[in-house]
Structure 1
Amino acid sequence: MNGWTRTPAAHCRKVPPYWICGDCHVGNLGPVANAEGDVEIQIRDFDQTVIGNPAHDLIRLGLSLAMAVRSSDLPGVTTALMIEQMMVGYRKAFHPVAEPNRNESRPGVVLVALKEASRRTWRHLAQERIQGKTVRIPLGRRFWPVTSQERSDIEALLLQPGLLSLATQLRRRATDAPVELLDVAYWKKGCSSLGKLRYAALLDVGGRATRGQDLCLLDIKEAVKAAAPRYEDAVMPREYAQRVVEGARQLSPHLGERMVSARLGSSSVFVRELLPEDLKLEFAHITPEESRRAARYLARIVGRAHARQLDDSERLAWKRELKRHRSRQLEAPSWLWNSVVDLVGTHEKGYLDHCRRFALESARRIREVKAQPA
């Protein structure tokens, strides 16, 4: 997040204040299910959500797509054409009606994710998250034991308003079904969770756990101050978790309706049930045509998330602003292209510096080992 060297806010007029993702890279988009079982491609991560300049979401998306192009060994011109298609898709979302067109062409990476999401069941989720069909969370490298105090705190958490309804809101569950905490564990899940609270809680809803059916797996995550650029005069919830939930509800209704903010001891946390259909998009090796289609489609998804918060006049004003900085040579705002190029360079420099430090440290350790007496 500290890579926002030349903020686009300096190059384009201030647009109406509304929620942005704040960390809008490809991995934070994908199939998301709502409580009724409907699945759509939406934004799926809101730790960094703030009320800020939507240009930041475009830059972050453009950077992640540019890095995907580089990892696929495609020529640099592909990146330029992809950025152009990003803006084509994004601007289309600001037509008077910004809801999805079911018949629009989806790129292959999206079709694969949607197909996989539609066939997934609780068994698939259990195999990925808790490693098998079980009514306990297996402790090991990913899941660590909790103290008796932590378990008591989480039991108290589940009694807070809205938490029980979170477990019973799915269409297939009775709203008055009994809910029991079966197991809880600390969840070591990637670098982003280090130093913060992260728990997995396994619930039995309606007494069906002994049959291995309809278990409820809650993700309990500590919310912290966002690093994403925000409007200084924006009015947002002071509680970090409330900010995350409100941003999710505005930008990704499917996910937002399945999230609740709460307090866990002195910490602000947000809670959501993990569903089998929730997946992130995986970009491996892509072709030039696929990269352009993916950029156009995903930017339109982000555009819808932005546009649904605006009225028609505000949408029109933002479309005009995007056109104002478009050059004759590149069908995209100059601030978007320049920002993506700068950040790609910063990323490459940081990566190579890291490799050099690693190599020097490895050489130093080898010398120390050789210098030790036999």
Structure 2
Amino acid sequence: MHNGATAAPADRAAQGKAARKHASRSSHAGWIPSAHRPDPVAVLERQGRDRLPELLPIRYGRMTASPFAFLRGAAAVMAADLAAQPHTGLTVQLCGDAHLLNFGLYASPERTLLFDLNDFDETFPGPFEWDVKRLAASVAVAARENGHTEEQVRRAARAAAGAYREHVRRLAAQGELAAWYERIDAEQMLPLVRAARRRGRVESNLTRVHRRTSLHALGKLTETVDGRRRIVQDPPLLEPAGAPDMASLRKIFSDYRSTLSEERRLLLDRYRFVDAARKVVGVGSVGTRCFIVLLAGRDADDPLFLQIKEARKSVLEEHLPSGPYVHPGHRVVAGQRLLQAASDIFLGWMTGPEGRAFYWRQLRDMKGSAEVGGMSPQELRNYARLCGTALARAHARSGDRIAIAAYLGGADTFDRAVADFALRYADQNAADHAALIAAVAAGVVPAHPGV
């Protein structure tokens, strides 16, 4: 990814400018679907072949809810579309699914509240602009759902790309350690909020995020049955792990433990296994195997909730050269550690039953996301800039920020081109969403809306 990192800055900048010959900055505006473009519903159905069939109707039901919900679940569709376009060849560790709701707040190990990328199921090395285009497209789709004018939609999408370009250029002028240690504290969000009423809601949300810990989850997700703490049932979204799953989870716990650093293994060893349950999460992840595990530390009122999530091949893998990690769980964990300014201390991976790959993390550790629906044009534009800034910071850790900055340049050519793409792709996404609704209505795809 960062192959030219030891070259002189001038040589790295020259490499970035040379990339304009492969894909000019203005070329990013283009979006014309290929005559051989895969049917979007067929892409989704192919993804579902190895998922839990009883949960797929929930996935499709969630995706039919709105164009933005469809976009969230259609990372595989957009990956194929991006791969069909010319690209810069300037490689970074991609998030792979950098839409607006995959940014948010979380606690660093030092208990500082940070704003950053927060979903890495699709992370993989690839051209930096793929993440920028997915972010900008999600901004355009969200802005339209909020009823903004087309000019306001365009300005919001351009703001995301512009913030990315400006921040990469700023980081390109910094030393390696300064760029690596860059982070966005939650307090940096407040100056973006001008209206006092909205600022009050943001401050209230930050307070709620501080309370979202394992101890808070204990009261929400568990109950006491016959004197023993158990995870509550809420089928089909939260169901007790059956005996075979429970036995497997206990067995693979030690394999997961081995992927942690020594001091974190010591900490984990102070907890005991209490209960586990299968949990449905997200939109795009519905149907994959996901569990939550309740551990107890000093006593029953000292809980730790861990999430075990199935890791599959990234939707980007079929379109790009092989990555450095064979194990999908290792890929997710390594990608998260590389992209985030600070990561969960309990991140780890292992292989489970039937050779399936999984990764582990804390279920709740002061995590929260923005309420994009209902944002005013100014608020959404500001939030888009914040996400673009966070994405630039993440890419600067794995890619050649000097080359990327030189490619982007000081003019807003790239920003405007990506905004054009975002509006065109928002049209495509709306058509794909309509195609899924039609497939559901025709009985081709089963869907359970509202679950």
> Structure 1 length normalisation: TM-score?
0.81
Which letter does structure 1 place at the counterpart of 2:433? Answer: Y
Query: Would the alpha carbon gap of residues 195 and 284 (structure 1) be closer, same or farther in structure 2, given more than 3 Å must change?
Result: closer
Displacement after TM superposition at 1:90 (Å): 1.1
Q: 1:258 aligns with which of 346, 349, 352?
A: 346
Displacement after TM superposition at 1:126 (Å): 3.5
Matched, 1:158 2:247: no
* 1:286 corresponds to: 375
Bigger mean CA offset, 296-305 vs 60-69: 60-69
User: For the residues of structure 2 that align with 1:60 and 1:176, how far apart are their CA atoms?
Assistant: 37
CA contact (8 A) 1:169 1:175 kept: yes
Query: Would the alpha carbon gap of residues 258 and 178 (structure 1) be closer, same or farther in structure 2, given more than 3 Å must change?
Result: closer
* 2:47 corresponds to: none
Q: 2:274 aligns with which of 182, 187, 195?
A: 182
User: For the residues of structure 1 that align with 2:381 and 2:164, how far apart are their CA atoms?
Assistant: 13
Displacement after TM superposition at 1:241 (Å): 0.5
Q: Render the CA deviation track for 1:257-295: whole Å, top value 9, x for unaligned.
A: 431011112211100112340122221211121122111
User: For the residues of structure 1 that align with 2:386 and 2:308, how far apart are their CA atoms?
Assistant: 31
CA contact (8 A) 1:51 1:230 kept: no
* 1:320 corresponds to: 406
* 1:227 corresponds to: 315
Displacement after TM superposition at 1:357 (Å): 4.9
User: For the residues of structure 2 that align with 1:263 and 1:238, how far apart are their CA atoms?
Assistant: 12
SS state of the match for residue 242, structure 1? helix
CA contact (8 A) 2:306 2:360 kept: yes
Q: 1:125 aligns with which of 195, 200, 217?
A: 217
Matched, 1:27 2:101: yes
User: For the residues of structure 2 that align with 1:279 and 1:157, how far apart are their CA atoms?
Assistant: 29
* 1:305 corresponds to: 394
Matched, 1:53 2:138: no
Query: Would the alpha carbon gap of residues 8 and 264 (structure 1) be closer, same or farther in structure 2, given more than 3 Å must change?
Result: closer
Which letter does structure 2 place at the counterpart of 1:100? Answer: R
Displacement after TM superposition at 1:358 (Å): 5.0
CA contact (8 A) 2:348 2:359 kept: yes
Instruction: Note the residue ranges of structure 1 that are not aligned, 5 or more in a row.
Output: 362-374
Which letter does structure 2 place at the counterpart of 1:293? Answer: N
What does residue range 187-266 of structure 1 map to in structure 2 within 5 Å? Answer: 187-206=279-298, 208-209=299-300, 213-228=301-316, 232-255=320-343, 257-265=345-353, 266=355
Q: Render the CA deviation track for 1:285-315: whole Å, top value 9, x for unaligned.
A: 11121122111111101111111224xxx32
Displacement after TM superposition at 1:34 (Å): 2.4
Which letter does structure 2 place at the counterpart of 1:348? Answer: A
Query: Would the alpha carbon gap of residues 60 and 270 (structure 1) be closer, same or farther in structure 2, given more than 3 Å must change?
Result: same
CA contact (8 A) 1:32 1:279 kept: yes
Bigger mean CA offset, 18-27 vs 157-166: 157-166
Matched, 1:100 2:183: yes
User: For the residues of structure 2 that align with 1:69 and 1:176, how far apart are their CA atoms?
Assistant: 43
Displacement after TM superposition at 1:25 (Å): 1.0
User: For the residues of structure 2 that align with 1:64 and 1:116, how far apart are their CA atoms?
Assistant: 26
Matched, 1:143 2:238: yes
Which letter does structure 1 place at the counterpart of 2:409? Answer: K
Query: Would the alpha carbon gap of residues 54 and 131 (structure 1) be closer, same or farther in structure 2, given more than 3 Å must change?
Result: farther
Query: Would the alpha carbon gap of residues 168 and 316 (structure 1) be closer, same or farther in structure 2, given more than 3 Å must change?
Result: closer
Q: Render the CA deviation track for 1:325-370: whole Å, top value 9, x for unaligned.
A: 954xxx6152x23432232112211233344455566xxxxxxxxx
CA contact (8 A) 2:115 2:184 kept: no
Query: Would the alpha carbon gap of residues 177 and 106 (structure 1) be closer, same or farther in structure 2, given more than 3 Å must change?
Result: farther
User: For the residues of structure 2 that align with 1:163 and 1:136, how far apart are their CA atoms?
Assistant: 27
CA contact (8 A) 1:262 1:269 kept: yes
* 1:353 corresponds to: 435
Q: Render the CA deviation track for 1:95-145: whole Å, top value 9, x for unaligned.
A: 2244136575344586554343224444533455x1668821112312223
Bigger mean CA offset, 101-110 vs 234-243: 101-110
Query: Would the alpha carbon gap of residues 149 and 58 (structure 1) be closer, same or farther in structure 2, given more than 3 Å must change?
Result: same
Two-structure CA RMSD over aligned residues (Å): 3.1
User: For the residues of structure 2 that align with 1:253 and 1:112, how far apart are their CA atoms?
Assistant: 24
SS state of the match for residue 136, structure 1? strand
Q: 2:424 aligns with which of 326, 338, 342?
A: 342
CA contact (8 A) 1:183 1:202 kept: yes
Which letter does structure 2 place at the counterpart of 1:143? Answer: L
Bigger mean CA offset, 98-107 vs 153-162: 98-107
Which letter does structure 1 place at the counterpart of 2:408? Answer: L
User: For the residues of structure 1 that align with 2:206 and 2:348, how far apart are their CA atoms?
Assistant: 26
User: For the residues of structure 2 that align with 1:273 and 1:284, how far apart are their CA atoms?
Assistant: 27
CA contact (8 A) 2:289 2:309 kept: yes
Query: Would the alpha carbon gap of residues 112 and 318 (structure 1) be closer, same or farther in structure 2, given more than 3 Å must change?
Result: farther
SS state of the match for residue 175, structure 1? helix
> Between Structure 1 and Structure 2, how many residues are aligned?
345
Displacement after TM superposition at 1:191 (Å): 4.8
CA contact (8 A) 1:121 1:276 kept: yes
Displacement after TM superposition at 1:51 (Å): 0.6
CA contact (8 A) 2:292 2:363 kept: no
SS state of the match for residue 229, structure 2? coil
User: For the residues of structure 2 that align with 1:167 and 1:276, how far apart are their CA atoms?
Assistant: 21
> Structure 2 length normalisation: TM-score?
0.68
Instruction: Note the residue ranges of structure 2 that are not aligned, 5 or more in a row.
Output: 1-75, 194-198, 444-451
